[in-house]
Amino acid sequence: MISFENPAAFFTLLLIPALFFLRALKIFTPITIPLTISDWKGSKFNWNDPVRKAFSHIYHFTALLGFICAVTAWASPIVHKQTKVYSSRGTDILFVLDISPSMAAQDTPGVTRLEIAKSAMESIIKANSGESVGIVEMAKEAALVVPPTMKKEAFFEKLKTIVPGELGDGTAIGTGISCAVFHLESSAAPKKCIVLLTDGENNSGAIHPYTAARLAKEKNISLYVLGLGTKGSVPIKYVDPKTGREQSGFLDSNYNTQTLSKIATEAGGKFYETANLPALSQAIDVIIKNESVVQSYQIHNTDKKYYVQFLMATTILMILTLFIRVGILREVL
């Protein structure tokens, strides 16, 4: 929201149309003495320099813009910003994100499975501003890369840097869920939630996914499984983070919805097959609705004045105007 400490200053802008009106009536015009240079009964000399005319238009524009900035500075603009400061805890959400090479597959042309997963994560977070969120990366191994935090900036910064293949070639779903449970079980949050985003090809890790799912249920941690992918031959393209080489070709996708559904069932959770955007949106809506918590908060108001910025803009524009008139057009003021 924007307001002004001295809004009456804007009445000064009425001087602009008044000046044009007076000059049109030849009341407020510079005094000039006509001097015709020509041969007897010959054609008159005309000064026709398009570059000079262009610079003349430019300095008129910069002078006008500088005047407007000066008036705005006089009005002293203030930008008001309201921020929610939560005084109670919300839900702790840990995203278990599959970053195995198969997540680079493009079931939808031009969009990888990992990009769809990131989009889902962003949607859930933006709709739950008071929650603590974190990320567990999962491939051949699993690791907590963002502990549950309310600082969404740190979360999104890390999310941007995640690429397929960082933790090797493989998918250890059981290890990923267990890692998330370990970091959530001691939390004092009123609700704790794990969102697993994977293409379902469990082929690594020492912990069985069903065992990890039952562990989540024992610890009263909700589990949502978002399946990303399709069966069959799918184009794939990514840069191997270890070698720096680009890998491309076709992936024989063994996307298994039965396994993912069973994992969710073992945890008493929900499985959603998100092969398209409508299905993904529906799953996100359910997660947001189920995991929302009523939190107490206060509104923190911050005001920022922009007087100095407009004053600096005025100074720069006026210096530019003088430079064009005196330095380029060689006018005598």
Predicted confidence (pLDDT) per residue in 181-213, tens digit? 999 998 888 889 999 999 877 788 889 999 999
| Burial per residue of 162-171, b for 16 or more beta-carbon CB atoms within 10 angstroms, e otherwise | bebbbbbebb
- Find where tokens 């609705």 sit: 289
185 burial type by CB count under 10 A (0-12 exposed, 13-18 middle, 19+ buried):
middle
| Residue 12 confidence (pLDDT) above 80 | yes
pLDDT at 298 over 90: no
Q: What is the pLDDT of residue 292?
A: 79
Q: Residue 48: left (phi > 0), alpha (psi -120 to 50), or beta?
A: beta
**CATH of the domain spanning 86-291:** 3.40.50.410
263 φ, ψ (degrees, to nearest 5): -60, -45
Residue 154 has pLDDT above 80, yes or no: yes
Does 50 or 103 have the greater pLDDT score?
A: 103
Whether pTM exceeds 0.85: no
The proportion of the chain whose per-residue pLDDT surpasses 70, expressed as a percent, equals 89
Residue 13 above 70 pLDDT? yes
Q: Which residues pair with 134 in a beta bridge?
A: 94
The residues near 305 (Cβ < 8 Å, ≥ 6 apart) are 76, 77, 78
